[in-house]
Structure 1
Amino acid sequence: MKKFFTSVILTTTLVTLLNADSQPSNIELLAKELNLYAGSKASIQWKRVFSSPRHLKRYKLENLDQHTRDQLEEYLINHAADSEQPIVPGIL
């Protein structure tokens, strides 16, 4: 019986992972890789991070190309703690 439930759970997990709608975007994955969680800061704080060379270096963002940095900033601001669609830290 235990093997059956384990099999069901693994199958369900696999189906969820294979569902394209549930896959995080490249920007979400990049944010997670850099340990940047949108809901950990308010929008204005994320704007400050991206406007300061010191903060860009602190968060290891200075080496990203401008287009990627802009996309990451947009994602973090759109899902910031004070946004209409906040993302809770650690949930990705």
Structure 2
Amino acid sequence: SAAAIGFLIAVSGAVGFLISGSYLKVNIPLSIGFLNIPAFLIFVPITTFMARIGARTVHKIDKKKISKYFGIFLLIVALKFLFEYFKL
């Protein structure tokens, strides 16, 4: 399912951050490479719990509404990036 694939992507990303940051000569407190241990320990249980709630909620809402809201969200993010890039 999507959750299993998401987990594999997250693990490979975390390993990538561990490896890529390990070559730095900078000592980042409470971190291994680019992976911040306290943030990791906070985000993993919260996202695991909230993913179930999000999936359950999305299945209860009309698909057209979800697509419309997500499209609006993407437009807002794109406009924000454009305004920041062109310093408007």
Name the TM-score, length of structure 2 as normaliser.
0.28
Q: From the CA coordinates, give the structure whose radius of gyration is larger.
A: 2
More strand per residue: 2
Highest relative contact order (Cα 8 Å, sep 6+), 1 or 2?
1
More helix per residue: 2
